[in-house]
Chain A
Amino acid sequence: MSSYNPRQVRVDTPLLEREINGRPITYLDSASSTLPPRPVIEAMTRYYELRHANVHRGVYQTAVEATDVYEGAREATARFINAPQGLDEIVFTKNTTESFNLLAKSWGAANLKAGDVVLVTEMEHHANIVPWFQLREQVGIEVRFVPVTDDFRLDLSDFERLLDGVKLFSFTAASNVLGTRNPVKELTRIAHDHGALVAVDAAQSVGHQPTDVVDLDADFFCFSAHKMLGPTGLGVLWTRAAILESMPPFLGGGGMIADVRMDGYVPASGPTRFEAGTPPIAETAGLAAAIRYLEGLGLANIARHEDELTGDALKRLANEFDGRVRVIGPSDTADRGGVLSLDVDGVHPHDVAQVLDQFGVCVRPGHHCAKPLMRRFNLAATARASFGPYSLTSDTDVLLEALASAVKMFG
């Protein structure tokens, strides 16, 4: 039974009590990182105060409890995304970027050879571009891009031809720049029909809408705890158990082996094969708490609320600035999330963000680690405002007040 009241989420989130430059903080940078609610912070504190020990080794009580915390978080993550074979399919990484590096450097290096094609899109984060370029340098794969239309969607007019010879189609569920939500299930079906496996960058979707890996049917999902109310330093790679078992180890060291002798080693089976060294443990306690918290709110409720906020903000941004503030992204909420990349006529995004900071408004200026997409729209940077489960229309009020000030200051 879920109940969702964004005002309660606000009360639960200590950082939102802060004042910045004499004004209450207006946090509009959830696409960069979401703010953890008190239960997440307390879960990590409780872990350190009561249970901290290294995992997978000791037989003493707290070591067993620490291992339970860690493996329990794996199980909670599996349930959260409906992983069919449960915790055997969840690899903990450092972040989404490391998940993609694991995918490229383990699965990619073992399964792709010169001339094989990895298809990505023009709206990808660098995390889903650079590891493939690195693999191209190493083994000579081809990296192909699905273009983006002038109205900020994937250009699928030539999609089936682009899929020709593709071994992996790797794309984002929701753009961190445009806000565009891509039709994951439909694109996955088409890619599968052409014999490609499918990887999904779920960093911007997993904390903002329901995720069911069985329903969506893709083969890999990459996401980060800190973009779903959890802590930094922890990411996830989900893939089918059968694929996971076929992937060679990534980083070598302790924890990832079944045996080591003077003449070689045998890797462990299952996800721990990819988790060399002492992993982030407190962070998994935080992730499990974040999942419980999100499930309590209901992901569908969060999606509905953020859609309403986004629709309202889009309308007001279009009406209140005589066309001087342009949103780089879809203009209706049908297929977009709560990410608003702003281009303010005559005011550089860095200056926009600087003026906004004076009002306590946190937005992110820059290229958002998506330079091919920025080039596509002839932009060096945008000022990006983005919503989270604690956002309210009053945040949009302050954003608009601060934007008006920036527009006025730079004439």
Chain B
Amino acid sequence: MANLDDLYREIILDHYRTPRNRGELTSPSTIRTEGFNPLCGDELVVYLDVQDGVIVDIKLTGHGCSISQASSSMMSAAVKGKTVDEARATIERFKQLMTVHESTLDGNGEAPVADIRTMGELAALQGVVKFPVRIKCATLAWNTLSQGLDEA
């Protein structure tokens, strides 16, 4: 049985209660990308300031459930100051984390250590995989970021 504590880890609740990088960017070079989750009504706007291939600033507005809010907050913290290529690699790793099949999890629902070690805080979101209807909550921010980077 999937346990709620796997989903609502303390670090996720912390990001939900105190989201990082909230707000808007207004400079003319800002890339503004909207993401929607029509089934839940989640809405997200990602503001990116990319200069010389580096994400020098990122801000977020919108609303959604704890998973989508925490995931977007953690995403912003993970990619701020990183190069676009590094951010894309993180997106890829995160998406793999979200598609990891039940059979590749060990008995405690943990993904193989090698994959997780490089993920930092983001690893806390792996419990979402055990609640398949919530995966789209976690991936909204990352898909929106990916679209934004396509415009950079």
Q: Do A and B come from one complex?
A: yes
Instruction: Tell me the A residues contacting B by CB distance below 8 Å.
Output: 21-22, 347-351, 354-355, 358, 365-367, 371, 374, 380-381, 409-411
Measured in the bound complex, the distance between the Cα atoms of B41 and A365 in whole Å is: 10
Decide: A358 near B40, CB < 8 A? Known: A348-B65, A410-B13. no
Is B101 at the interface (CB under 8 A from chain A)? no
Q: Is B1 an interface residue (CB 8 A)?
A: yes
Q: How far is the CA of A410 from the CA of B10 in the complex (A)?
A: 10
Given contacts A354-B7, A354-B131, A411-B17, contact A380 B66 (CB under 8 A): no
Check: B137 CB closer than 8 A to any chain A CB. Answer: yes
Q: Do B4 and A380 touch across chains, with their CB atoms under 8 A apart?
A: no
Check B4–A348 contact: CB distance below 8 A: no
Residues of chain A lying within 8 A (CB to CB) of residue B7: 354
Name the CB-closest residue of B to A380.
B41
Contact B17 A351 (CB under 8 A): no
Q: Which residues of A lie under 8 Å from residue B67 when comparing CB positions?
A: 350-351
Q: Which residue of B lies closest to A405 (CB)?
A: B4
CB distance from B7 to the nearest CB of A (A): 7
Q: B39 → chain A, closest Cβ, in Å? A: 7
Known: A350-B40, A366-B39. A380 touches B63 (CB 8 A): yes
The answer to whether A351 and B39 touch across the interface, beta carbons within 8 angstroms, is no
Smallest beta-carbon distance A232→chain B, Å = 19
* With A349-B65, A354-B7 already in contact, 9 other A-B pairs whose C-beta atoms are closer than 8 Å: A350-B66, A350-B67, A354-B134, A366-B39, A366-B41, A367-B41, A380-B42, A380-B43, A410-B16
CA distance A358 to B6 in the complex (A): 12
With A350-B137, A354-B131, A358-B4 known to touch, is A410 a contact of B40 (CB < 8 Å)?
A: no
Contact A409 B40 (CB under 8 A): no
A410 touches B66 (CB 8 A): yes
Size of B's binding interface in residues, CB under 8 A: 21
**Known contacts A21-B1, A22-B1, A348-B64, A409 near B8 by CB under 8 Å:** yes
The distance in angstroms between the C-alpha atoms of A409 and B134, with both chains bound, is 18
**B interface residues, Cβ below 8 angstroms from A:** 1, 4, 7-8, 13, 16-17, 39-43, 63-67, 69, 131, 134, 137
- Find the A residue at minimum CB distance from B137: A350
CA distance A380 to B40 in the complex (A): 8
- B3 closest partner in A (C-beta): A358
Closest to B62 in A: A380
State the Cβ distance, A359 to closest chain B Cβ, in Å.
10
How far, in whole Å, are A350 and B69 apart by their CA atoms in the complex?
Answer: 12
Q: How far is the CA of A411 from the CA of B66 in the complex (A)?
A: 12
Q: Smallest CB–CB gap between A367 and chain B, Å? A: 5
Decide if A366 touches B4 in the complex (CB within 8 Å): no
In the bound complex, CA of A87 to CA of B16 (Å): 56
A372 to chain B: closest CB distance in Å? 13
* Chain A residues with CB below 8 A from B43, complex form: 380
Q: A347–B16 Cα gap in the complex (Å)?
A: 10
Chain A nearest Cβ from B34, distance in angstroms: 14
Contacts of A22 in B (CB 8 A): 1
In the assembled complex, the Cα of A358 lies from the Cα of B2 at a distance in Å of 9
From A347, A366, A380, residue with most partner B Cβ within 10 Å: A380
CB-nearest residue of chain B relative to A347? B66
Min C-beta distance of B43 to chain A, whole Å: 7
Note all chain B residues with C-beta closer than 8 A to A354. 4, 7, 131, 134
Q: Determine the residue in chain A with the shortest Cβ distance to B69.
A: A348
**Residues on B with beta carbons closer than 8 Å to the beta carbon of A365:** 40
Measured CB to CB, the nearest residue on chain B to A355 is B4
Contacts of B4 in A (CB 8 A): 354-355, 358, 409
Name 10 interchain pairs, CB-CB below 8 A, sorted by A: A347-B66, A348-B64, A350-B67, A351-B67, A355-B4, A374-B41, A380-B64, A381-B41, A409-B8, A410-B13
